[in-house]
Amino acid sequence: MAQTAYEPTGILGQQIFGLPVERETLFSNHKQIYKKRVEKRQRKLIVKLAFLKPFLKKGEKILLISTGYSPLASVAQYLTGFVFIYLKRSLFVFTNYRIIHVPTTPSYNYKGSIAQIAYAGCQSILLKGGTLVVEYGKFGKVETFKGIPVSERKKIKELLKQFKITGTKSDLAERMPLCPRCGNRLLRGKYRCENCQLKFKSRLLARIIAIIFPGGGYFYTRHYLVGLLNAVLEIFLLVYLAVTIKDTVNGVEESLYYAVALSAIYLIIKIISVIHSTHFTSEFIPKDKTLKPISPSTLKKKAPKEQSDSTVSVA
């Protein structure tokens, strides 16, 4: 028996949990055939996006939601190893205007950061295996987003054929971080929204805290479990190192080798902590954990004219 989608009419047909969607695309497979398992999977993810409504522009509709991982610098990724999966989970929301990138917790819950990839600012967007490869129109910069699930790959490939990926708008030619409160474009290296003055955690402070306190960088960037594990490991190494140094002073020759080895291990762990903490601040983590998005009407009043490429007004 063929599967039949429940198709509400009127306003219900255009929205799910208050979010504008294209049901025929969202709940279908790559051949535009409705599948109950696809609907179940997409509904499970769209529940995580209740915060998104104020940031969608007029006429924008959600076509597909996928999981994956945020980009990570090659050195940092190498040093992270298996923890990469835990630290960099994200949701990717494909709309008719752009891809909305949402860094999440390991359980795919929103953690206050949001960015966009405008189709008009990309030279190409390709799916190679489970990796989404985005080449931006300006300077040919390339970013890769790994971990796209097998269940979404064919559909994403079909969707990408429909989008106008021209790379013609140079001001949109990057993954653009957006203020989670007002939707204004955020500038790299500045940790305050120029529109609503929301403050974000800074790169410099992340480095200092990561260096001084065991696990401090992870706690600062709200990666508490990793921070706890890191703190325990650093404290253990420091205590063990103190014991071996004491033995070395007392003339125990082999303790010198242990002290050198422990010092090297501790230094490597500390460097990894600093790299990770610094990198996470690039996602613009708001200092205020309880912030609420400003309504679209307020956004229009507050948004300066030169910010026409913000979330709410990007084309």
120-134: per-residue pLDDT in tens?
899 899 999 999 999
The C-alpha atoms of residue 255 and residue 258 are separated, in whole angstroms, by: 5
Q: At what angle do helices 254-280 and 203-212 cross, to 10 degrees?
A: 160
Q: What is the model's pLDDT at position 10?
A: 43
Q: What's the distance, Cα to Cα, between the start and end of the chain in Å?
A: 42
Q: What is the model's pLDDT at position 77?
A: 62
List pLDDT tens digits, range 29-79: 999 999 999 999 999 999 999 899 889 988 999 999 999 999 876 666 666
Mean pLDDT of 111-121: 92
Of the two residues 2 and 212, the one the predictor is more confident about is 212
Q: What is the model's pLDDT at position 171?
A: 78
* Residue 13 pLDDT grade (very low, low, confident, very high; cuts 50, 70, 90): low
* Residue 137 pLDDT grade (very low, low, confident, very high; cuts 50, 70, 90): confident
Q: In the predicted model, is pLDDT for residue 81 greater than 90?
A: no
List pLDDT tens digits, range 250-306: 766 677 788 888 899 999 999 989 988 888 898 899 998 877 666 545 555 544 443
Mean pLDDT of 162-176: 81
CATH 2.30.29.30 given to domain 11-189: yes
* Tokens describing residue 24: 């025929």
Distance of CA 310 to the CA centre of its chain: 18
Q: What is the mean pLDDT of the chain?
A: 84
CB burial of residue 213 (10 Å; 0-12, 13-18, 19+): middle
* Residue 84 pLDDT grade (very low, low, confident, very high; cuts 50, 70, 90): low
Mean pLDDT of 212-223: 93
DSSP 73: -
Q: What is the model's pLDDT at position 245?
A: 84
Q: In the predicted model, is pLDDT for residue 214 greater than 50?
A: yes
Among 50-64, 100-114, 144-158, 290-304, the range scoring the smallest mean pLDDT is 290-304
Q: What is the model's pLDDT at position 293?
A: 66
Contact call for residues 137 and 173 (beta carbons, < 8 A): yes
Q: In the predicted model, is pLDDT for residue 314 greater than 60?
A: no
Q: Is the dihedral of CA 36, 37, 38, 44 positive or negative?
A: positive
- Going by C-alpha positions, the residue among 38, 58, 59, 61 that lies closest to residue 49 is 61
Among 124-133, 134-143, 224-233, 303-312, the range scoring the smallest mean pLDDT is 303-312
Contact call for residues 303 and 312 (beta carbons, < 8 A): yes
What's at 270, amino acid-wise?
K
Beta-carbon contacts of 51 under 8 Å, excluding residues fewer than 6 positions away, are: 110, 180, 293
Mean pLDDT of 132-144: 87
Write down the residue that tokens 């940031």 correspond to: 55
Q: At what angle do helices 254-280 and 224-249 cross, to 10 degrees?
A: 160
Q: What is the model's pLDDT at position 139?
A: 72
Beta-carbon contacts of 114 under 8 Å, excluding residues fewer than 6 positions away, are: 55, 100, 101, 102, 177, 178, 180, 311
Locate the domains of the chain by residue range. 11-189, 205-282
Mean pLDDT of 235-246: 89
The C-alpha atoms of residue 85 and residue 24 are separated, in whole angstroms, by: 32
Of the two residues 249 and 161, the one the predictor is more confident about is 161
DSSP one-letter string for 90-110: EEEEEESSEEEEEEB-TT--B
Q: What is the model's pLDDT at position 315?
A: 30
* Residue 140 pLDDT grade (very low, low, confident, very high; cuts 50, 70, 90): confident
User: b vs e for 119-135, b when ≥16 Cβ sit within 10 Å of the residue's Cβ?
Assistant: bbbbbebebeeeebebb
**What Å distances lie between residue 262 and 48, 241, 242, 283, 292, CA to CA?**
43, 6, 10, 33, 46
